[in-house]
Structure 1
Amino acid sequence: MRWTAPPWPLLRLLAWVGTCWALLAVLLDPAEPARTALVTGYAALWAWQAVRPWNPPVAAVPLLAPVILLVIALAPGAGGGDGFRPFPFTEGTYADGALAVATAPVWIHLVVLARGRDLAWAVPLTLVLAPVRHLLDGGLPLWPAWIMWGVGFMVLGSAFRIHGMLYEARLRLTREAVAEERRKIAREVHDLVGHGLGVVMLNITAARLATSRGNADAAGRALAEAERAGRRSVRDVHRGLVLLRDPAGAAAPPIAPAPPTAEDTGALVAELRAGGLAVALTTRGDLGAVDPAVGLTIFRVVQEALSNTARHAPGAEAAVTVAVGDAAAEVTVTDPGPADARGRPSTGGLGLVGMHERVGVHGGVLRAGPDGAGWTVHATIPLTGTAP
């Protein structure tokens, strides 16, 4: 896995390290013109990379690294200067040692920027450059140090790479958690607003019908109920939004209301009946034994389905069946469709999406669609969390 954002400040620092050590190798042994030219070119390359970092294509990185290291491998050994033994089994001059350290940015750039699958062949290729050069030409006495330095620098680069991968994974998990929380909030707000507006509309419709019949008392009661439902919805939405804020600085943070359960389905149906929606409710099994998370899903599915009935099929009689079995709960909500038979769109909005997401969290299945002239919502929710 490659970093999506290479750590350029770190790589720029390493480029300056390679530049300085290469120039040090030139200063320690300026007598060899060929060596001086090659090492100076190497230093100029890394100085340019430090000033204006270039992000090479990932496929080219394993090819560029051996080419750049070949410049150092082809440089003649330093002829003068004091002996230098970075390890007991190596020997050379201080200029050779400086040149070995100057390869650090190449190793780390290779490990950090290359694709994982390319490292399998690129790493052995870069490590054998110096031994092959020594065997063919008899020079580069520090070739064992080349391997040791290379392995050490690549281990350091691997640490940077793993740290970057973990950091990106943590960011990705954080983004996914935030997105899931936003979806959860959107579902809750949609359910609160949708249900509240459904009740308000039912009572306004009842008030209009009562007014047309000249029954002012009934119209007043319906409008009063619509006002209460509207105020309750505004209060619930406000409470939900307040809970989203950080309560760290609040002296007494608000307490979240208990979420509805499967047993609250009866109260929901009764409220909608009072608003004028004809609903027949049938329950089977013990709704009180259902896990609260599953019970909330059952309640929200019934709530959203009946809100859609009130919105798209006013005047129709809905039928709700909640059956709790040993392994799963089944929720079915049907309605015969609007009285004017104009139908409704087969593609739902956020309500259907929210129902699918809620049921899918528990590993369940939800089907919603036309059923003749009407509409049917059927959800099967596993009871993995059902209390014994």
Structure 2
Amino acid sequence: MNWKPSRAVLADTALAVTVGGLSAAATLNQALAQQASLSWSAWAAAAAQLAAGLALILRRRAPVLPVLLCMALCAFITPSAVPFATYAVGVHGRGRPREWAAVLLLSGLFARPWNISGPVPEVLLNTASISLVGIAPALLGMWLASRRRLLQALAERAERAEREQRLMAEQARSEERARLAGEMHDVVTHRVSLMVLRAGALRTIARDEVVREAAEELRQVGCQALEELRELVGVLRSEETFGSARTAEPVVLDLTGLVEESRAAGVEVDLATEGEPVPAPPVVGRTAYRVVQEALTNVHKHAPGARVTVRVGYAGGLLHVCVRDTGGARGAAMVAGEGGTGLSGLRQRVQLVHGSLWAGPSEEGGFEVRASLPVAPGGGAARERAAPGSTEAADGVRVSP
């Protein structure tokens, strides 16, 4: 296994080598200035300075060890690593009394009062002033450590506040969704139910066969609208309901009837399927159905005479649908994005099932609507992007529903 040292280890090693090397070199230079040749005591003092400096490698993991080593060496030399050792205790220590007792003792030994001559007050004053060289770095390290902990606590508090705000926003959205679902259920469902009941009554009392067939068709459409409306209300009320809707009995997307209706209305539609059809959750299948239905409706309204190609593909746990027309007599309002909000509402419905939708002019000069919807739990969210050269404005084309 290849071990790569961290930046902290490299920094501590560089500091230890620098302090130890410079201290040893300064000791040897001072000895050469006082005597012609280096004695064994000079080499021993240089080795002690080097050892005190190299001990700083442990200043993060065991900050007390360099202090103890410097205390032992103070009986023979004045270690240059003392300020760095005491600073390490202030920054990386745990603030224990024994750690600070070691710092105070080292600071007193660093002054070497037994080598100071003169009156007692003068000796004490000199000892105290020299001891500040060891105490001041420790206090500075303690202040920096406290500041670092304070900043970390403030950052954690800001993170926690942001997380709580996000949770509150999600809760507010859930409550708003539930409120909208309740209003939709109370108002729309009631009206559509009345429409279905009256259509059924009309089918019963009507004498004309054409009227009865129209009433029955109206009743069936109303029942289908009620079913989809109940499902949409469940999606708005909770994510759990949405999840259960996705795990319901899967179905295979069938666009044959929709294509036949468009052909009967005079639009040339080609239907092609790529890949092995995969059963999809009902909510996904109905969303794909609505995408194709909306696209064909727009062709009827805005591009009469155009030829349409509908492609359905299955790949990577996704259901891809693409509706492309040849252009026809598409009006300027459609190209400019004027009209209703059919595709905008459709995009919201696609996003509810974690899919993606793109709509805009095709390279052949017509109009194209593409959607990618997840059909399996492991399929993930659809990530189809706009075609090269397209713009976000094309993605937001507004079309009459």
Q: TM-score, normalised by structure 1?
A: 0.38
Bigger radius of gyration among the two = 2
Identify the structure with bigger relative contact order (alpha carbons < 8 Å, sequence gap 6+). Answer: 1
Q: TM-score, normalised by structure 2?
A: 0.37
